[in-house]
Amino acid sequence: MPQVLIVYYSHGGNTKKMAGEIARSVEAAGCQVLVKKVDEVTMDEVALADGLLIGSPCYFGNMAGPMKAFIDDSIKLFGKGELDGKPGGAFCSTGGIGGLGEVALQSMVTAMMIQGMVVQGVRKGGHYGPLAINEPDERVLTECQNYGQRFAALVKRLAG
Ligand SMILES: Cc1cc2nc3c(=O)[nH]c(=O)nc-3n(C[C@H](O)[C@H](O)[C@H](O)COP(=O)(O)O)c2cc1C
């Protein structure tokens, strides 16, 4: 069974709720899931995963510092291309409309593309990935479920 690693940072619990909802959906769709706080994950775990999802609140129009530190640390996997060709995706909680949550999501997705990852976009919904305004409401939880399902399908296809 392919394994999906979900790495998140959350101070107030909003992004954590999204991680939990996505994890349940990925698991229901037939992947093994490992959910890790960003300061507890190792690069060995990242390298072993068949797919990687990352989640962060929007801080000052970008991902939060701990998530950026994690991404910078992933340079360790860059040389050998250990993430190259693997599915990736991102989710985010922001404080309000116009608060730049989309920009934060875009910068997480961009980092994954620089690693050569295959990013799951969204046609119907937040195009860069699930985006909550503060606590995820029913609409966002449904987006998280749909995203988890589609992401698991991609992982299964590519891990095939
Ligand atoms: C240091 C800091 C910076 C923030 N910057 C922004 C911001 O630029 N735009 C925004 O919409 N919300 C901003 N917020 C609000 C958070 O993104 C929002 O409360 C989010 O839901 C927190 O997620 P969490 O509960 O997972 O920690 C900021 C919050 C903090 C603490």
What confidence tens digit (pLDDT) does each residue in 80-129 have? Answer: 999 999 999 999 999 999 999 999 999 999 999 999 999 999 999 999 99
Ligand 1 pocket mutation pick from 16, 60, 133 by most atoms within 8 angstroms of CB: 60
Question: Beta-carbon neighbour count of residue 4 at 10 Å?
Answer: 28
Residue 160 has pLDDT above 80, yes or no: no
Residue bearing the CA closest to ligand 1, atom 9: 99
CATH of the domain at 91: 3.40.50.360
Q: What is the pLDDT of residue 55?
A: 98
**8-state DSSP, 99:** S
Candidates 51, 72, 50; CA nearest to 63 is 72
Tell me: the pLDDT tens digits for 69-92? 999 999 999 999 999 999 999 999
Cβ 95 under 6 angstroms from ligand 1: yes
Domain count, the chain: 1
Q: Which two tokens stand for residue 150?
A: 């589609």
State in Å: Cα 106 to ligand 1 middle: 16
pTM exceeds 0.95: yes
Burial 37-53 (b: 16+ CB within 10 A, else e): ebeebeeeebbebbbbb
Q: Which structural domain range is residue 128 located in? A: 3-159
